[in-house]
Amino acid sequence: MNLREIHNCFFVGIGGIGMSAIARYFAANGKNVAGYDKTPSQITLDLEELGVQIHFEDVVKNIPISFLNKDKTLVIYTPAIPENHSQLNYFLANNFKVFKRAEILGEITKATFCLAVAGTHGKTTTSAILGHIMQPENATSFLGGIAENYNSNLILGEDKVSVVEADEFDRSFLKLNPNIACVTSMDADHLDIYGEAKALEESFFTFSQKVSDSLIVAKGLPLKGLTYAVNEAADYKAFNLKIKKGTYIFDVQTPTEIINEINFHLPGKHNIMNALAALAMADVYGVSLPNIKKRLASFKGVKRRFSYKIKTDDFVLIDDYAHHPTEINAVENAIREMYPNEKVLAVFQPHLFTRTRDFIDDFATGLSKFDEIVLLDIYPAREKPIAGVTSDWLLSKIDNQHKILLQKSQLLKHIHNSQAKVVVMLGAGDIGVLIQEITNQLLNNIIYDV
């Protein structure tokens, strides 16, 4: 495929975080870009401001006429799109060039020196940190979240070096051919796709075999490569951790030298691991350690990754994308580290019926650690309901007296009435939209500083 010969790019599911990064890339490179998504969002609004045509009703007549020329149009879709999607089936039936997002990302990056970040947890933050480090190197970075430094999921550079988030969902990362890669974690997830944890591990092993130059792995993973860890022996080791005014300060031992007093502003030791992985990849690539240190100090984070929506002496509201038990545990640990003496209310919207079913006991254990728990109904995304798999079932397994299942409309009143100083809203569904509404409503009564 010669992408230079493509004039039009149509995205089925353009509002997705990975899809929209590629849409931004093609728009920046002079292509005509249009697409469909189920609902409007801040992402679709931002794309429309770039001149991208977007509609929200799945009917063939909504496809712009100029995009009906199959010789000049590339169609890109996300695997989250249902099989009965009218527009996608029209393109398929009429022999358009139709590709999954991962295939196009592989095509864009195959001629670049590619740095890929894989892992069931941590890859979005790690790839955003790495993209920020590599920005002065003119790398183009495709991210799975909105980097606060750029207010974008695309850091646009040149076409010689790329940073990509390598997604294990649907085995998408096997479409990439990275020169340098890291694997942050390999916890069981996406069992609706893989069936069992062993199949997921085998997929990561296959990915590791595609790395041409250097593989970097969190210590303890069953893959061969350079290792990284916090406070234990590894090729890249972070140690002497301190917290001053909410900022981590730590030293790093690399295979060849020590760099002292790195400043990093994201809370939680899991984020030290993310920073260390990005540091290792950039170091292997050839970025100087003083430059890496400088970039780490200026990294502002990723939206919906421990994002402060309200932060005062009296009340804190945090937004986080955590939707797997491991991620929920990491958020809880970070909150206890930052607010050790405060009562914490967690609002959780489970994401997917299959994930809720597969990890029900782990979800219950992790959520039980908070002082108060509010559950919302399961966000189905691409799935149909499964009999018996409900938020009521999860609620019954949570070992905590201060728990309740609420509808979204009841949440604001409950937060107002809670004695919790710290509220964290967790999940990968439309809770990301809900928290903005809650924030706006709370700010009518709270003077804040963020």
Whether 280 and 335 map to the same domain: the answer is no
**Which among 101-115, 177-191, 225-239 has the top mean pLDDT?**
225-239
Q: Are 349 and 320 in contact (CB under 8 A)?
A: no
> In the 8-state DSSP scheme, what is residue 93?
H
> Per-residue pLDDT averaged across 15-25, rounded?
94
- When pLDDT is averaged across residues 274-288 and rounded to a whole number, the result is 98
Phi (first) and psi of residue 108, to 5 degrees: -65, -40
Q: How far apart, in whole angstroms, are the C-alpha atoms of residue 16 and residue 262?
A: 34
Domain-located, residue 351: yes
Question: Is residue 293 located within the same domain as residue 312?
Answer: no
What span, in angstroms and rounded, lies between the C-alpha atoms of 146 and 144?
7
Residue 70 above 80 pLDDT? yes
How many of the other CB atoms lie within 10 Å of CB of 400?
15
Using a cut of 0.85, tell me whether the model's pTM lies above it. Answer: no
pLDDT above 50: residue 99:
yes
Residues 165, 92, single domain; the answer is no
Segment among 157-166, 335-344, 393-402 with least mean pLDDT: 335-344
Residue 170 is assigned to a structural domain of this protein: yes
The boundaries of the domain holding residue 251 are 110-297
Phi, psi of 177 (to 5 degrees): -130, 75
Residue 44 domain-assigned (yes or no): yes
Quick check: is 346 in a domain?
yes
Final residue before a domain boundary, out of 297, 332, 362? 297
Please check whether residues 253 and 153 belong to one and the same domain.
yes
Q: Tell me which of 40, 72, 99 is where a domain ends.
A: 99
Q: What percent of the chain has pLDDT over 70?
A: 96
What is the reported pLDDT for 267? 85
Q: What is the pLDDT of residue 448?
A: 43
Q: Identify whether 434 is part of a domain.
A: yes
User: CATH number, domain at 23?
Assistant: 3.40.50.720
Query: In this structure, are residues 268 and 230 in contact, taking their beta carbons and an 8 Å threshold?
Result: no
3, 282, 316, 343, 380 from 178: Cα distances, Å = 20, 14, 40, 44, 33
CATH code of residue 376: 3.90.190.20
Residue 64 inside a domain? The answer is: yes
Of 121 and 449, which is predicted with more confidence?
121
Span 8-28, average pLDDT: 95
- The total of structural domains in the chain comes to 3
Averaged confidence pLDDT in the chain: 92
> Looking at this protein, which amino acid is placed at residue 3?
L
Q: pLDDT at residue 188 above 80? A: no
Whether 254 and 315 map to the same domain: the answer is no
Domain end residue (candidates: 266, 297, 328): 297
Same-domain check for residues 291 and 312: no
CATH number of residue 215's parent domain: 3.40.1190.10
Question: pLDDT band at residue 194, thresholds of 50, 70 and 90?
Answer: low
Residue 302 lies in a domain: no
Task: Judge if 63 and 38 occupy the same domain.
Answer: yes
The answer to the question of residue 114 being in a domain is yes
Residue 333: pLDDT over 80: yes
Q: Which residues are CB-contacts of 152 (< 8 A; sequence separation ≥ 6)?
A: 24, 146
Q: Looking at the predicted structure, is the pLDDT value of residue 190 above 50? A: no
Task: Give the pLDDT score at 187.
Answer: 76
**Do 122 and 93 belong to one domain?**
no
Mean pLDDT calculated for residue range 201-224: 93
Confidence band for 447, pLDDT divided at 50, 70 and 90: very low
User: Which is more confidently placed, 393 or 306?
Assistant: 393
Q: Domain check: are 320 and 287 in the same one?
A: no
More confident residue, 429 or 260: 260
Indicate whether 188 and 290 sit together in one domain. yes
Q: Beta strand pairing status for 247-253 and 236-244?
A: antiparallel
pLDDT higher for 433 or 298? Answer: 298
pLDDT digits (tens, 9 = 90+) for 389-445: 999 999 999 999 999 999 999 999 999 999 999 999 999 888 988 999 999 999 877
On whether both 49 and 115 belong to a single domain, the answer is no
Residue 189 has a pLDDT of: 57
For residues 52 and 198, state if they share a domain: no
> 253: which strand partners?
237, 258
